[in-house]
Every structure is written in C-alpha cells, then in structure tokens.
Amino acid sequence: MDEAMSRRTRTAVAAPGAVRDEAAFERHYSVEELTELWGMSDDFVRRLFLYEPGVVIFYRQQPGKRVYRTLRIPASVALRVHRRMRRV
C-alpha cells in the first residue's frame, strides 16, 4: 500500500501543470455580486468574508495610505457561509 501511495504522489508531483485544486476554476463572486444576490450591504458582506478560509484577497498597500482589498469569493465558500448564517 505504501508503494501505491508513493507512486500516486510521484505522479501528481511530477505532472507539471496538473490541476490539483478544483476551487481555482469554480465560479468566484465579487462583493458587489453577493450584495445584490443576498440583499445586504457591501460593508457587511466584506466583513463577513474577510477572514473566511478559501477567499482570495488581492491587496495593494502603500506606506502611509489605506489598504485596498479586492475579494473574490468561491461559490463553495459563499454556500458554506450562507448555510452557516441560515442556521442562526
């Protein structure tokens, strides 16, 4: 069993450009899109997803100025948060 496992690992590592993470190719929502879909403020949606695992954050920081962040929220993460919020 160890040999089979190491063979799979070598194949996965040795294949350059192999797709390892399907989340990279799933639909990603912007804060504005979720704001429209869920009917909430953009500030609330941004705070809700800022520290959520799986959210892609692009940011630009300049010394002495505020940080500009762009969030891209995968559909699976939006669904997970929606289910969690719905149970409350």
Q: Return the HEC string of the chain.
A: CHHHHHHHHHHHHHCCCCCCCHHHHCCEECHHHHHHHHCCCHHHHHHHHCCCCCCEEEEECCCCCCCEEEEEEEHHHHHHHHHHHHCC
Whether pLDDT at 20 is above 60: no
Share of the chain above pLDDT 70, in %: 73
- The mean pLDDT of 77-83, rounded to a whole number, is 94
Maximum separation of any 2 CA atoms in the chain, in Å: 56
- The mean pLDDT of 4-22, rounded to a whole number, is 46
List the domains of the chain with CATH numbers.
Answer: 22-86 (1.10.10)
Other C-beta atoms closer than 10 Å to the C-beta of 71 total: 20
- Looking at per-residue pLDDT, the higher value among 10 and 76 belongs to 76
In this prediction the pTM is 0.69
CA-to-CA distance for 1 and 10, rounded, in angstroms?
Answer: 14
